Structure formats: C-alpha cells, structure tokens
A and B are shown apart, each in its own frame.
Chain A
Amino acid sequence: MKLPDFDYHSPTSLDEAITLMATPNARVLAGGQSLLPIMAFRLAAPSALVDLRKIKGLDKIEITQDAIHLGPMVRWRDVERHEGLAAALPLLTQAMEHVAHYQIRNRGTVGGSLAHADPAAEFPGIAVTCDARIHLAGANGKRVVAAGDLFVGPLETCLQDGEIITSIELPRWPQARRWAFEEFSQRRGDFALAGIALFYDLDGERRAQNVHIGVIGATDRPRRLPGAEAALNGQALSDEVIAKACAAACAEVDPPTDIHGSAEYRRSLVGTLLQRALVKASS
C-alpha cells in the first residue's frame, strides 16, 4: 500500500532533531527498512518523520581501548566493510552477516534495529549478549540504558516519546575469548526462527567463566539465558555439561507459535543451536 501522509523533516543537528521530535506522534527515520514497511501496512501512521541522514557524525565507527562505539546511523554494510571490527568483536560481524538482503543492508542501520526491537533481529541479540550500553538523548536530557533493559516486548522498547538513540557502546574483548553465533532461518536473509549468540572466557584450568548466552527469535524480546549460563559457569565443556545447558535453555524459553514454526519446534531449535554453538566455541 501507499504510505499514510506525514510531514517530512531532515534536520542538520541533533538539537534540531530533538526539538522536532517534540511533535506528537513524530518518529525518527533512519534507514526506513522497517519503518516504511510497517507504515505501508498501516501498522504505524506517524504525524511526522524526522530523518537523521543530514546530521553529521552519526554514522561513525570508533574503536577505542575499552569500547567500540557505533553511531546509530551505521549501516549493516558499514559493519561488513569496516577494517578493524571483525578483529575487535568477531561475534558482532559474524552475526551481522545474517541480517537481511543485499539491498536492505545498504540502508538498514544499527540504531533503527534497536529501536524497532524485532524479537528475531540479530543486532539487538548481540547488544544484549555483549552488555552494550545505549546512549539516548531527548527533550529531558541524556541518559544511558543497558541493552538488557532496553527491550520491553515485541517491537517495544523503554525509549520515551521523542528520545533518540545517539550511540551504542560495546565493551572490548580479551583476545582469547571463546564465542559463537548460530541461527536458523528458512531462507537466506530472512528473520531467524531462533538464534543463539554466546561467549565465555577460560580460566587456568580450562573451565568456562563469565558465560554470556543470548537468544533471539524464540522469546518476546532478545534476552540472556541465565539457566543455561549457570549450567556452564565454572565447568569444563564436556558433552554432558553441554547437554545439561541445552536442556536448561529449552526449559527457560517460552517461544511463540506462528505460521513459520510451532512453539515446540522453536524450543527444540534453541537447544540444537546452543549445542552447535557450544561445540563450535569450544573446538
């Protein structure tokens, strides 16, 4: 369908954008790859779109000693092409390879993906797994929220009306960290039916410590799996330990049933993907 009508603004500064966002029912426009489809379906009919494309500096990727800073307008394509990111945070670049199709990757952004909060989207899952900090700015000033607190439900975040994501901060990794990303989707570039992102560190006795496991697609929002993490923390990864963690993971997800897969199928998929990911990470 054609889009519902709205006012279009393309401010050149963040302050101007924040002022424009005070308009009731205004929305930020980033890549438009999620917002325009939902407008075409009349699931959203904003009064105004505030396009961030002319605000300088929002598409920067910065790697410092402690953190990786992604501007909200960094596109999937920019992540793919960046020289240093794959070495600095391999879990991120690996997972981003699964996002959408070629043409969509040329426009879709990391900030848009977080704000859209699709439970099956890869980047929100990585943000939650990797303890990302999300920087926000709005009429009431600036604040920072943990990625784990950002997502409230399907397509729902804790962003207040008019708030804009200004930066995403991901902590740097120790070189030796073990990690893996696994997802299953019906066709290349489609949203995942389920996916698992994980990392852990090995202590002197080759036991897993600091285990972080995130799930997408099988829950109402991306989240960690504390039961599975507890089954692994302090353990050397044997077949038996992995099986226990997978059973814990299946028990702690509550997947939806839809035309793409039943709840039981998705639950079992979570276990299978976690098993594959752990085998990959530990070998």
Chain B
Amino acid sequence: MSVQFVVNGRKVEVDPPARMTLADCLRQQVKLTGTHVGCEHGVCGACTVIVDGEAMRSCLMLAAQADGATIMTIEGLSSDAELTPLQLAFKKNHGLQCGFCTPGVLMTLHALLTQEPYASEERIRDVLSGNLCRCTGYIPIIESALEARAAYQDQARSAQA
C-alpha cells in the first residue's frame, strides 16, 4: 500500500504492509530510529511523535493512517549543529539518564508548549502522566520543562508581534 507523508519537512513515499504501525514504519522504512518503541500497546509514551501538530502514540497508529499527514519526530526538533532550548534545558537539568523515554517526552513537551506556552506546572505534570520514565524520577524532567517554557513564551510573543 502506498503511503505518503511529510516527515521533518521531507516528503516521503513508503509501502508499508497494512499491519505496520507508524512507529515501525518510521524506524524501519524511513530509517528514523530516534522514535523509540517500548510497550507497543499505548502505555509508555516512548513512541510519541507529532502528527499535524498534535502529540500521538505512533505505536497506536497504522502507517496507513498517516497518509497525507505532516509528521515531526525527535530528529526534526533541531538541526544537528544546535540544540533547542528544550534540549538544552534537559541537558542542564539532567532531564534524562538512559534516554530511552526521552524522544517521547520531548515530542510531548514540544507539542504541549507550542500549543500552550503558558501551561502551568500542574498541566505539565498532568500531560507527562502519559510518558513513563524508569530512570529520572520525573523531577528533573519537570524542572527541564519549566525552564524551557520561557523560550516557548518568547516565541509565542514574537510570533504575535
């Protein structure tokens, strides 16, 4: 089955079997292995990508359902040369240890803070309930998110001006 989508600004055409999830298609066919697959049944959030501006679990989406979509994966967050404020905040605050959950956490936070740059700490905690991390104990993740939030607010202000 032919499926076309735009991923990280690049148009791709793939030919996934019907049963292939978007997560597996991104990893195996598009060769973007930054998206991680943990549980394969919607519980851990490691596979989170941004589809048409909204965070979604790519293990609970068929590749076929992404036909025509615009997708962002962790590889699309920054150019290789420079980290974004969100990534810098994670580096500074030890928001990751093994890094397995990190692509999903960053995609979730990027979608949230882009849509809601003034999200409260409670809202951020609530949203992160959909991402499991076995290493950090979550506190450094929340601290990183709160620090990065200011950059999304600046961006929203300059977009308005």
Residues from chain B with Cβ under 8 Å of A29 in the complex:
62, 65
- Kindly supply a per-residue 1/0 record for chain A positions 238-282, scoring 1 wherever the CB is within 8 Å of any chain B CB and 0 otherwise: 000000000000000000000000000000000000000000000
Contact count band on A? 20 to 34
| CB-CB contacts below 8 Å: B45-95 with A | 45, 48, 54-57, 59-62, 64-65
**Given A1-B40, A32-B62, do A103 and B17 touch, yes or no (CB 8 Å)?**
no
Task: Determine whether A12 belongs to the interface, using a CB cutoff of 8 Å to chain B.
Answer: no
Say which residue of B17, B18, B21, B45 sits within 8 Å of A101 (CB atoms): B45
Residues from chain B with Cβ under 8 Å of A40 in the complex:
40-41, 59
**Is A5 touching B41 in the complex (CB atoms < 8 A)?**
no
| CB-CB contacts below 8 Å: A7-42 with B | 7-8, 10, 29, 32-33, 36-37, 40-41
Task: Determine whether A135 belongs to the interface, using a CB cutoff of 8 Å to chain B.
Answer: no
A106 CB → nearest B CB, Å: 4
A238 CB → nearest B CB, Å: 35
Residue of B with least CB distance to A38: B41
**Given A6-B18, A103-B108, do A51 and B65 touch, yes or no (CB 8 Å)?**
yes
Interface centre among A3, A100, A187 (most CB of B within 10 A): A3
Task: Determine whether A104 belongs to the interface, using a CB cutoff of 8 Å to chain B.
Answer: yes
**Is B19 touching A3 in the complex (CB atoms < 8 A)?**
yes
Q: How many A-B residue pairs have CB under 8 A?
A: 85
Say which residue of A7, A36, A49, A51 sits within 8 Å of B60 (CB atoms): A36
Task: Determine whether A178 belongs to the interface, using a CB cutoff of 8 Å to chain B.
Answer: no
Task: Determine whether B112 belongs to the interface, using a CB cutoff of 8 Å to chain A.
Answer: yes
Residues from chain A with Cβ under 8 Å of B41 in the complex:
36-37, 40-41
Say which residue of A4, A41, A51, A189 sits within 8 Å of B130 (CB atoms): A189
A95 CB → nearest B CB, Å: 16
Q: How far is the CA of A71 from the CA of B126 in the complex (A)?
A: 27
Residues from chain B with Cβ under 8 Å of A77 in the complex:
54
Q: How far is the CA of A7 from the CA of B61 in the complex (A)?
A: 15
User: How many positions in chain B have a CB within 8 Å of any CB in the partner chain?
Assistant: 27
Task: Determine whether A53 belongs to the interface, using a CB cutoff of 8 Å to chain B.
Answer: yes
Residue of B with least CB distance to A31: B60
Task: Determine whether B1 belongs to the interface, using a CB cutoff of 8 Å to chain A.
Answer: yes
| CB-CB contacts below 8 Å: A34-71 with B | 36-37, 40-41, 49, 51, 53
Residues from chain B with Cβ under 8 Å of A103 in the complex:
45, 48, 55-57, 108, 130
Residues from chain A with Cβ under 8 Å of B108 in the complex:
102-103
Residues from chain B with Cβ under 8 Å of A36 in the complex:
21, 41-42, 59-62
Q: How far is the CA of A17 from the CA of B122 in the complex (A)?
A: 42
Interface centre among A1, A5, A40 (most CB of B within 10 A): A40
Residues from chain B with Cβ under 8 Å of A5 in the complex:
17-19
Residues from chain A with Cβ under 8 Å of B61 in the complex:
32, 36, 107
Task: Determine whether B127 belongs to the interface, using a CB cutoff of 8 Å to chain A.
Answer: yes
In the assembled complex, 10 residue pairs joining A and B whose CB atoms fall closer than 8 Å, in A order, are: A10-B64, A33-B57, A36-B61, A49-B62, A77-B54, A102-B55, A102-B129, A103-B48, A107-B56, A187-B129
Q: 4 extra interchain contacts, Cβ-Cβ under 8 A, other than A32-B62, A36-B59?
A: A8-B62, A8-B64, A100-B130, A103-B56
